[in-house]
Amino acid sequence: MEKLYADPTGKGAHLDQYAASAALKNAEADAKRAHDRGLLYTGSVALTNQTVTKVNVSGKIPNATVSSCLDVSKWQTVDAKTKKPVSLPENRLTKYRVLSTVEKYPEGWRVTRDEPQGKPC
């Protein structure tokens, strides 16, 4: 995911190996909005404390819901031209709970939906 936001061309991101459906479209659209505003994101993102909260393997498409802590504290927003950090609100959440739906595709499991919960973790 970091590569998608760090490179305006999106080359090398290969996000489709991990995401599909709404999750993929939303990430690509969000990165494009940032790039269109002259912003890049550098650094790393971490998912911690993953907990499977629901599993359905009996339906047409096996799926599960996973609760995680998304840590963007080491992800820096920078101006694409100057590469200098952009100021951000002091009170923004940098570690927050996210609920993800994953579905089993022929190629493997893919995140199909992410729902930030707006709660710190």
Average of pLDDT values for 23-41? 96
Both tokens of residue 11? 């080359």
Is pLDDT above 80 for 116?
A: yes
What number is the average pLDDT over the span 8-25? Answer: 90
What percent of the chain has a predicted confidence (pLDDT) above 90?
93
Check residue 80 and give its pLDDT: 96
SS (H, E, C) 17-60: HCECHHHHHHHHHHHHHHHHCCEEEEECCEEEEEEEEEEECCCC
Q: Predicted confidence band at 5 (pLDDT cuts at 50, 70, 90)?
A: very high
Residue ranges and CATH numbers for the domains of the chain are 2-120 (3.10.450.240)
| Rounded Cα–Cα distance for residues 20 and 72 (Å) | 21
Residues 99-114 have a mean pLDDT of 97
Each residue of 51-105: pLDDT tens digit? 999 999 999 999 999 999 999 999 999 999 999 999 999 999 999 999 999 999 9
